[in-house]
């Protein structure tokens, strides 16, 4: 299987549970965002992109109903690549991003699932954690990918319309 490591900023609290859940709460007690990470099993040797795209859509479908169904787009993180699906819903944390990624090695039998829920589309703590994420391969080595630019990883999606 595979594993992962990531750097969590000081202001982020780690929550107990079956998945790694990181949460940032403002001084006023409002949640700025949550990032949840888990591993999933999949035979990624055949149709890797199809499996990762399907997994990203499945993760988002668990978070939000998207008209016409979720659409996944290809993404590249520093140690992996895969797919991202996103939506804006009417909730306390309206911006939802679902990632299904795997290291470049095609011989892996699983991937990393990430769900980000945030109050604004550009939650800097999530961007920091995604940038620091490294995938550990079955041999215990860190997978790397050098062609990543320095732009933000969280996409900017349209904000919810203001209600009167």
As a whole number of angstroms, the distance between CA 102 and CA 78 comes to 11
Is 114 within the bounds of a domain? yes
Q: β-strand 110-118 against 31-41: which pairing, if any?
A: antiparallel
What pLDDT does residue 161 have? 47
Q: How confident is the model at residue 160 (pLDDT cuts 50, 70, 90)?
A: very low
Q: What tens digit of pLDDT does each residue of 34-66 get?
A: 999 998 887 765 566 788 999 999 999 988 887
Q: Whose structure tokens read 């980000």?
A: 116
What pLDDT does residue 50 have? 86
Is 163 within the bounds of a domain? no
What pLDDT does residue 16 have? 78
Domain of 32, CATH number, reads 3.40.1000
Q: Is the pLDDT of residue 157 over 60?
A: no
Beta bridge partners, 32, equal none
Is 157 within the bounds of a domain? no
Q: What tens digit of pLDDT does each residue of 93-126 get?
A: 999 999 998 877 656 678 899 999 999 988 999 9
Average pLDDT over residues 148-162: 46
Q: Is the pLDDT of residue 10 over 60?
A: yes
Is 156 within the bounds of a domain? no
What pLDDT does residue 107 have? 64
Total domain count, the chain: 1
Q: Is the pLDDT of residue 1 over 90?
A: no
Pairwise pLDDT comparison (156 vs 140), residue with the higher score: 140
Radius of gyration of the chain (CA): 16
Q: DSSP letters of 80-105? A: EEEEEEEEE-SSSS-EEEEEEEE-S-
Is 146 within the bounds of a domain? no
Is 24 within the bounds of a domain? yes
Is 80 within the bounds of a domain? yes
Is 96 within the bounds of a domain? yes
Q: Is the pLDDT of residue 139 over 70?
A: no
109 touches 94 (CB < 8 A):
no
As a whole number of angstroms, the distance between CA 22 and CA 7 comes to 11
Backbone φ and ψ for 84, nearest 5 degrees, come out as -130, 140
In terms of pTM, does the model score above 0.85?
no
Average pLDDT of the chain?
A: 80
In degrees, rounded to 5, the angle at the alpha carbon of residue 66 between the alpha carbons of residues 93 and 54 is 100
Q: How confident is the model at residue 9 (pLDDT cuts 50, 70, 90)?
A: very high
Cα dihedral 43, 47, 50, 55, rounded to 10, equals: 10
Q: Is the pLDDT of residue 30 over 70?
A: yes
- Domain encompassing residue 105: 3-141
């Amino acid at each position: 299987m595979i594993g992962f490591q990531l750097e969590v900023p000081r202001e982020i609290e780690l929550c107990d549970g079956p998945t790694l859940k990181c949460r940032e709460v403002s001084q006023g007690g409002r949640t700025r965002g949550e990032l949840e990470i888990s591993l999933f099993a999949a035979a990624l040797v055949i149709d890797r992109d199809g499996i990762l795209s399907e997994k990203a859509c499945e993760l988002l479908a668990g978070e939000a109903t998207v008209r016409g169904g979720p659409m996944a787009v290809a993404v590249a993180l520093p140690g992996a690549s895969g797919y991202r699906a996103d939506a804006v819903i009417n909730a306390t944390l309206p911006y939802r991003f679902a990632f299904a990624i795997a290291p470049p090695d095609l011989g892996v039998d699983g991937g990393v699932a990430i769900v980000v829920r945030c109050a604004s589309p550009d939650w800097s703590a999530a961007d920091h954690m995604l940038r620091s994420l490294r995938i550990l391969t079955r041999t215990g080595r860190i997978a790397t990918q050098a062609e990543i630019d320095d732009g933000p990883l969280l996409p900017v999606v349209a904000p919810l319309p203001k209600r009167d």
